[in-house]
Amino acid sequence: MSTIETRIAQELGVAPRQVMAAVALLDAGATVPFIARYRKELTDGLDDTQLRRLEERLGYLRELEARREAILSSIAEQGKLSAELEEKLRAADTKQALEDLYLPYRPKRRTKAMIAREAGLEPLADALANDPLAEPESLAATYLNPEAGFADVKAVLEGARQILAERYAEDADLLAELRALFEREAHVHSRVVEGKESEGAKFRDWFDHHEPIAAIPSHRALALLRGRNEGVLRLSVDVPHEEGSPHPALTVLARRYGLADQGRPADRWRLDTARWAWATKLSVHLELDALNRMRERAGEEAIRVFGRNLKELLLAAPAGARVTMGIDPGIRTGIKVAVVDATGRVIATDTLYPFEPRRHYEPTIAALAALIAQHGVELIAIGNGTASRETERLVAECLARHPELRAQKVVVSEAGASVYSASELAAQELPELDVSLRGAVSIARRLQDPLAELVKIDPKSIGIGQYQHDLDATQLSRTLDAVVEDCVNAVGVDLNTASPALLARVSGLNRSIAEEIVAWRQRHGGFRRREQLREVPRIGPRTFEQAAGFLRIPEGDDPLDASAVHPEAYPVVRRILQRIGKDVREVLGQRALIETLDPAEFTDERFGLPTVRDILAELVKPGRDPRPEFRTARFAEGIESLEDLRPGQWLEGVVTNVTNFGAFIDIGVHQDGLAHVSELSDRFVRDPHEVVKPGQIVRVRVLEVDLERRRIALSLKKERTEAAPTAQPRAEPAAKEARRPAKAAKPAKPGRRESPAPESALAQALARALER
């Protein structure tokens, strides 16, 4: 077993053989969802979270090994690879430690220290460094070299200083100790750039701010870095110390190199050299390094939060196969309407103008009623952008005038709909529709099945992250792609209705194979059996193995093809059926019968207890959907703008985004409110995700409204005394409420969710976001 596998096993807290098995499967081309679901016997049940971490660390450590070998080769070619240095390089366990050791040997442009060495001044530097009793000026006089530019004692001593300063700056052990010092004790200090006070008003909470860099939360770190990048803030990092006392870093340097002022001839020169090295080289390097590590930590945390939010959004409750009308609201440009059938196929579209300047209000109501009646519309999805509340009132009036129409209105997120509308994918899917109408289709479909529709949109356009444009684009995309892949495969995909975008996310498939599947489907009228996948061009045995278990055929010839049972395990099912003497259709869903079976009775050398247990669970509930049931929030009547809000009101809302400092919540006023982490529960909450998640319906109390900055402070805590009047939503029949869908996230807008953080003008609870 390699060192890499041993290290990963230690980090994950699992057995080395589990890691070895997972690595072998990954190297053979298996995907994480496939390994997690269908290779439990080999990995002893490593789940998808462990496997993702394993995959990530495997990549990092392999890159580390490749870099290690490249560095060893480079130093060996220079003829400077000693046994001691090689041992240190072999022992380096991070890229940073490896690069620190490589610093003295890294090819670089000609430095002043190099010029001094070429002039023969290195013995002088060594003598002064090692012997504090040496007299600097006298010793330097013996190293004069006018031809090389060292014609006097001052120049010679400056050359020796350059050599020692470079030596200090390239000392890997010293750098590691100083880096640890900064990690423990350094503070980051932000100041406003002179003249940027009004231009950078959104950063005014950090015009003169400092705090320990080790404790700074990710959202604030990213806000500070954005302020710096926009030229509003100036950041510095240093270890606090009392004025007049030695800098802690100099104390470390002096201890390492035996520097002290004991009145000896070379003491002062040596200490001055150390101070100069700190001021000109080490301090700059460590400050940049500390800011980079702050950015990396904050970015990693922000990406983790983004991924968690995306997962919750993708796994939001689907309304299911119901005829749905999608409405993309607008005022001047009209409301765009699209009706899709239960499979998502577009069956009608229109553009109506109920508002100014045309004001065709009555004709719009009549047109909507006609469309609902003609196509048997069950759900009406209204985008939550501009004019959404006006459009919601319009639809409510239409339904009130026509009680025979049993449609249900739902306000849903339109985040990313415009991005999809203008995309090449939308043009391929809906070539006959104008761009403006494609958004309405997307809104309708995302109510039917959020996962199937949102996979068509770049996750970064869905508006659920924080400071996403400041994050490492490659790492962010890799993480979000993994989240999408895990969600799609956890739910499973209908082989006969899935779009190419959805199929491309299935384990083992890609965009070109997905398009081949759709083409085969169009030629042959759909799949009746999973085995027919083998007839699709470019699907060989390996691809079939990886994908088949996640592809479902609900109305196929074999009921097992609608389940998560992999075709390779069908023989196990046949043994089970033979044992109980029944047909598969007689067994499906029969929990009482299936629970009488002993899984151990059906294992063999290939399929162990984990697989057999999964098979029995599928027979109890074939093709089970892990997503929750579908319901929605009810926004309060008469509460449509910030001006309608009053402290103390209780409202129903939908969580749209969760960050480390709290949760943004849509309460139907075109501006999300913020419930700070300290207001999420009556108990202490360390991580907001413990309490709320995107798409969750919550009941909140208005704490404070800042009309000038358009910010709302909310609380989920139970009120301890009676507050101002509670805004009540219109009463709805319980049966309808049970069917209502969850409302997804609102689109990100400049200066809103990605604004640095709420400031002290809001409630004290919001102000505490800056102090935590």
* Sheet with 187-192, side-by-side order of all strands: 208-212, 187-192, 233-238
Give the pLDDT score at 1: 57
Q: What ranges do the domains of the chain cover?
A: 3-105, 112-305, 324-448, 511-620, 642-770
Give the pLDDT score at 460: 82
CB 477 within 8 A of CB 310: no
Give the pLDDT score at 514: 96
Topology classification of domain 112-305: Tex N-terminal region-like (1.10.3500)
Compute the distance between CA of residue 448 and CA of residue 632 in angstroms, rounded to an integer.
Answer: 13
Q: Which residues of 342-370 are buried (b: 16+ CB within 10 A; e: fewer)?
A: eebebeebbebbbbeeeeeeeebbebbbe
Give the pLDDT score at 384: 85
Give the pLDDT score at 671: 83
Determine the residue type at 152.
D
Q: What are the two backbone dihedrals, phi and then psi, of residue 356, each rounded to the nearest 5 degrees?
A: -60, 145
CB 488 within 8 A of CB 451: yes
Residue 454 CB neighbour total at 10 angstroms: 27
Beta bridge partners of 502: none
Compute the distance between CA of residue 591 and CA of residue 664 in angstroms, rounded to an integer.
Answer: 42
Signed CA dihedral, 521, 324, 550, 499: sign only: positive
Signed CA dihedral, 454, 456, 459, 461: sign only: negative
Beta bridge partners of 715: 701
Tokens of 710: 């358009």
Ordered mean pLDDT values, 10 residues apiece, the chain (772 residues): 88 95 96 97 94 96 96 96 96 94 93 96 96 95 94 96 96 96 96 90 90 92 94 95 90 95 95 96 95 94 90 90 94 94 94 90 95 96 87 90 89 86 90 93 94 90 77 90 95 94 96 96 95 96 97 94 96 94 92 94 93 94 86 76 89 85 85 91 88 86 90 85 45 34 38 36 39 38
Tokens of 632: 């929605």
Compute the distance between CA of residue 739 and CA of residue 407 in angstroms, rounded to an integer.
Answer: 11
CB 171 within 8 A of CB 257: no
Alpha-helical (H) ranges within 122-171 are 122-130, 136-141, 153-169
Give the pLDDT score at 239: 95
Compute the distance between CA of residue 171 and CA of residue 101 in angstroms, rounded to an integer.
Answer: 8
User: In 3D, which of 428, 442, 339 has the Cα closest to residue 385?
Assistant: 442
Are 3-105 and 324-448 the same fold in CATH? Answer: no
Compute the distance between CA of residue 635 and CA of residue 429 in angstroms, rounded to an integer.
Answer: 34
As a CATH number, domain 642-770 is: 2.40.50.140
Compute the distance between CA of residue 505 and CA of residue 485 in angstroms, rounded to an integer.
Answer: 5
As a CATH number, domain 324-448 is: 3.30.420.140
pTM: 0.79
Give the pLDDT score at 529: 97
Tokens of 46: 């490593």
CB 754 within 8 A of CB 466: yes
Topology classification of domain 511-620: DNA polymerase; domain 1 (1.10.150)
The CATH homologous superfamily to which domain 3-105 belongs is: RuvA domain 2-like (1.10.10.650)
Q: Which uninterrupted H or E stretch holds 21?
A: helix 16-27
Q: What are the two backbone dihedrals, phi and then psi, of residue 188, each rounded to the nearest 5 degrees?
A: -100, 135
- Residue-by-residue DSSP string for 477-509: HHHHHHHHHHHHHHH-EETTT--HHHHTTSTT-
Q: Which uninterrupted H or E stretch holds 699?
A: strand 697-706
Give the pLDDT score at 719: 66
Q: Is the peptide bond before 217 cis (omega within 30 degrees of 0)?
A: no
